[in-house]
Chains A and B, each alone.
Chain A
Amino acid sequence: MGMSRILRNALSAAAMAAALMSPVAASAQANYPAKAIELMVAFAPGGGVDLFGRTVAKVLTEEKIVNQRIQVFNKPGAGGELGMAEMAGPRKNDNHSLSAFALHVIYTPLTLGTPNSYKTLTPIAKIFSEYQMMVVRTESPIKSLKDVEAALRKDIGSLRFGGASLGNSDHIVVSKFAQLLGGDPTKVTYIAYSGGESNPAILGGHVDVGMGGLDLMDLVKAGKMRALAISSDKRLGGDFKDIPTFVEQGYDVVNQNWRGIFGPPGMSAEVVKYWRDAFTKMVETKSWKAELEKNQWSNSLETDTFVASLDREYDSSKKLLGQLGLLK
C-alpha cells in the first residue's frame, strides 16, 4: 500500500511536470473548453457529494486552472441512478459535461439493480477519500476494539451497531470486522440511520457501537464519544494522530469512501486528459489543501489507474454484498 502510494505520487508529480512543460499538449487543447462547463452533482444540494462538486468547481476557477465558468447543478435521485442516466443518455459524447460521484457508481447498480454504473460513464479521476470511524459514547463500558471483539465472539448479535444505510461504507466496515472474527455478518445487529441521524442514538446509548465519517471527531473532541478505530490504511495526522487504525490493532479492515469526477460516455480522450491534468494541478494548490484540511478529506488522487481500481472495487463489493444478501 505504502509503496504504491509513493509510486502514485511520483507518477502524478511527473504527469504534472509534463503538463506544465509540454507546450505541444497545451496547444492541442488551446481552444478547450470552448464554453461554460456544466458539472452535475447526482445528489441533493447540501450533502457530501454536493460539497465536493461545488468545492472542485470553486478551486478550479479561483486558481484559474480552468478559464471557463463551471456551473454546478443537482440532479438527485435513486442513489445517483437518475444522474448517471442523465450522463449516459442526453449528455452522451458531450465534452462540456462533468459529474461528481461517490461509491454509488458501484453500489447503486449492485443493490438496486439499476442499469447504469461507472461502466456507462467515463471515469476521469478519483480526487479524495473519507474514512470511517468506530466510536462509543464516553459512558460506554466498551473501552477498545478488544472489548468489541470479546462481545461479538460470545454472541455475534449482542452489540447494537449504528451507522449509515445497509451496504454503505459503515455497514461494510462492521461486516468485514465480523467476518474477521469468523462470524456471520448477516447475524450482526446493525441499525441503519441516514446521515448524522445516528449521532444522538450513539450519545443516548440506543446503539452500543457507532460508525460514521470523520466528522464524528467533533463529538470525540467534545468529550462525548470515544474513538476506537479508523478505517484508513495508515495512521492519519492532525486531530486524528492519536486514533489507531483497525490494521494497527491487528484487524485487517480498510475501507474508504472516495469522491471522483466522471465524464459522460464518449468523452474524447484529449478532453479526459485535459481534466486529469487540471485535477493534478488542482490538488497541489494551497486553496485545495486548505479545503482538505477544513473538511477532513484525505487526498487520494488517481487518474490513469482509476478505471482499474474501480474494477477491483466492483468485484470485491459484489462478493461482499452477495454474502450480506444485498445483491439485486
Chain B
Amino acid sequence: MESFSGILSGFAIALQPYYLMWALVGTAIGTAIGVLPGIGPSLAISLLLPFTYQLVDPVGAFILFGGIFYGAMYGGSTTSILINTPGESSSVITAIDGYQMARKGRAGAALATSAIGSFVAGTIATFLMMVLAQPLVDMALRFGPAEYFAVMVLALCSVTGIGGGQPMKAALCTLLGLVLGMVGIDITSGAIRFTFGIPTLFDGVGVVVAAIGLFAVGEVLVGLGNLRGQKQARFMDTGSLMMTREEWKRSAAPWLRGSAIGFVIGVLPGAGATIATFLSYGVEKRAAKRPEEFGKGAIEGVAGPEAANNGSAGGSLVPLLTLGIPGSATAAVMLAALQGYGINTGPLLLQKHPELVWGLIASLYIGNIMLLVLNLPLVGLWVKLLKVPEALLYPMILAFSVLGVYSLSRNVADLYIMFGIGVLGFLLRRYKYPLAPVILGLVLGPLLEKEFRRALIGSRGDWWVFVDRPLSATILATSAIVLVAPLIGYAWRRLRARPA
C-alpha cells in the first residue's frame, strides 16, 4: 500500500511539465548515445553532471539520468540490427541475429521486437523496483558495517568473475580502481595517503573526473586512432515495422524471460547489462523449438537479450536507491551525482527524499512510453546520427569534458588528472581491458575499506564480526562462489574435453 501511495505522489511530480521535459530530454539523449557506438550512458551522465548541478534540481537531474540510462538500452539495438555495429556492449549479442534478420528483409520486425521487448522489460523492472523499494529499505536497516562490507565484496567479485567474460583482465581493472580509490584523506583515521603533498589529491580522485577521463577522453583517443580506417557504414533498409502474428508469438516468452533475467542480474551488484544479455541469449537458444535458427536470424535471439538489458538497467537502480551501493558504472556516476547534490544515500533516501525516489520511478514509466514512440516511428531519424562525422564529434566531446571538469571544481589540476586517466583509459581499451571495473573499484574501494574498519572498530577488534552474522556470512560465501565459479567451469570443460 505504501508503494501505491508513493507511486501516486511520484506521478504527481513526474507529470509536471517541467519534469516531463527533462524526461523527454533524457530519453532523447539516451537514444542518441545508444545509437552512437562507443558513447555510453555513464559517459553521457558524467559529461552532463557538472552542468546539471547549476541548472536542474536533484529530482529533475535524476529524471534526466534515468531517461538516459533507459534510452541508451533502447538505442543500442538499432545499430546492431541495421549496420551490425553495436552501440553498446549490452547490444553486442543483438547484432548476431538482429543483423541476420535485417539481411533477410526483416529489419523492421527486429527493431520492433527489440523496442517492444525493451518497453515490456522496462515496465516490469520499474514495477518490481516500485514494489520492492520499501521492503528492501526495511531490510537494509538491518545491514550493519559487516553486511555492507560483504555486499561490496560481492559486487567486486561478480564484476571480476562474471562481469566481463575475461576474469583476469577484469580483476586487474578492479584492482586499478581500488588503487585509485586509496588516494586521499582516510576518513576513519584522518591519515593522508598517496597525495604527494598535493592538496588537490586530498579528497581523492573524483569519480566524475575519472569517469569523464576514462570514458570520454579515452574514447576520443581510441577514435582518433581509427579515424582514417573508418569505413562508411552500409545501412540496411528498415522496411515495415509490423511484426507478423508468428513473430509476436515467438517474441512474447523471450520478452518475459529476458525481463526476469535482466532484473535479477541487474539487482546483483557488479554483474551488468552485458552479462544479462549473454545469459538471456543462452536461455533462449536452449528454450527454442528450432535452436538451429540461432545465428541465422532467430527473432528470439533479439527479443530476449533486448528485454534483458532494459530489465537490468531497472534492476541496477535497486541497490543504488535502497543501499546507496552502485551495481554498475552508470549507477556509480549517479551515486556521485546524488552526493554532489548533498543528498545522503542509503536506506533513508526513500524516507528523506521520497520525491526523488518516487519521482524517478514514476518518470521511468513515462520515459518508457516516450522511448517506444521515439524509437519505433522515428528510428530513421536516429540512424542519421551515424552520419555525423567523427572528426566533428570527438572535438565536441573533448570540449565538453574540459568544460565540465573545470566547472565542477575550478581547479586546473583536475584537468591534468582527467587527461592522465584518459590516457590510461585509451591503453586499457586498446588492449581490450574492461573499463567499468575501474570505476566500480574507485567508487566501492573507499566504501569497502570504511565499512571494513567500522565493523572492526565496532567489534573492538574481533574479526569474527564478518562471519558470525548470518547475513554477512551468506553474502561472503556467495562472493566466493561467484569468484571461483568461472575457474571451476573452466577446469570442468578441460576435463571433459580430454579424451577418456
A: residues with CB less than 8 A from B are: 44-48, 50-51, 73-79, 81-82, 85, 111-112, 114, 157, 160, 165-167, 189-197, 199-201, 203-204, 206-207, 218, 326
Contact = CB atoms under 8 A, between A and B. Distances in A.
A218 B202 CA distance: 33
B458 A160 contact: yes
Contact of A200 (B190, B348, B410, B457): B348
Contacts of B185: 78-79, 112
Contacts of A165: 187, 190
Contacts of A112: 185, 190, 192, 202
Interface stretch (B89-97, B254-262, B336-344, B429-437): B336-344
17 contacts: A45-B53, A45-B54, A45-B341, A46-B341, A76-B203, A77-B203, A77-B411, A78-B203, A85-B199, A112-B190, A112-B192, A112-B202, A191-B457, A192-B187, A192-B454, A196-B348, A206-B145
A87 B185 CA distance: 22
A197 B144 CA distance: 12
Contact of B200 (A77, A157, A166, A191): A77
Given A73-B410, A112-B192, A204 B144 contact: yes
Contacts of B485: none
Given A73-B410, A192-B188, A203 B141 contact: yes
B232 interface: no
A326 B189 CA distance: 9
Contacts of A191: 145, 454, 457-458
Contacts of A75: 409-411
Nearest to A155: B460
Nearest to A166: B190
B346 interface: yes
A314 B383 CA distance: 63
A132 to B, nearest CB: 17
B142 interface: yes
Contact of A78 (B142, B200, B342): B200
Nearest to A160: B458
Interface of B: 53-54, 140-145, 185, 187-190, 192, 199-200, 202-203, 340-344, 346-348, 352, 409-411, 454, 457-458, 460
Contacts of B187: 165-166, 192, 194
Contact of A157 (B53, B409, B460): B460
Contact of B199 (A74, A81, A111, A206): A81
B356 to A, nearest CB: 13
Nearest to A81: B199
A266 B496 CA distance: 80
Contacts of B203: 76-78
Contacts of A85: 199
A291 B242 CA distance: 59
Contacts of B199: 77-78, 81-82, 85, 114
Contacts of B144: 201, 204, 206
A46 B189 contact: no
Contacts of B348: 196, 199-200, 203
Contacts of A206: 144-145, 458
A166 B189 contact: yes
B409 A111 contact: no
B342 A47 contact: yes
A189 B411 contact: no
A326 B191 CA distance: 9
Contacts of B411: 75, 77, 82
Nearest to B142: A204
Given A75-B409, A81-B202, A82-B411, A326 B190 contact: yes
A55 B463 CA distance: 47
A44 B202 contact: no
B340 A45 contact: yes
A50 B190 contact: no
Contacts of B190: 111-112, 165-167, 326
B457 A45 contact: no
A325 to B, nearest CB: 10
A201 B346 CA distance: 10
Given A77-B200, A81-B199, A189-B457, A197 B344 contact: yes
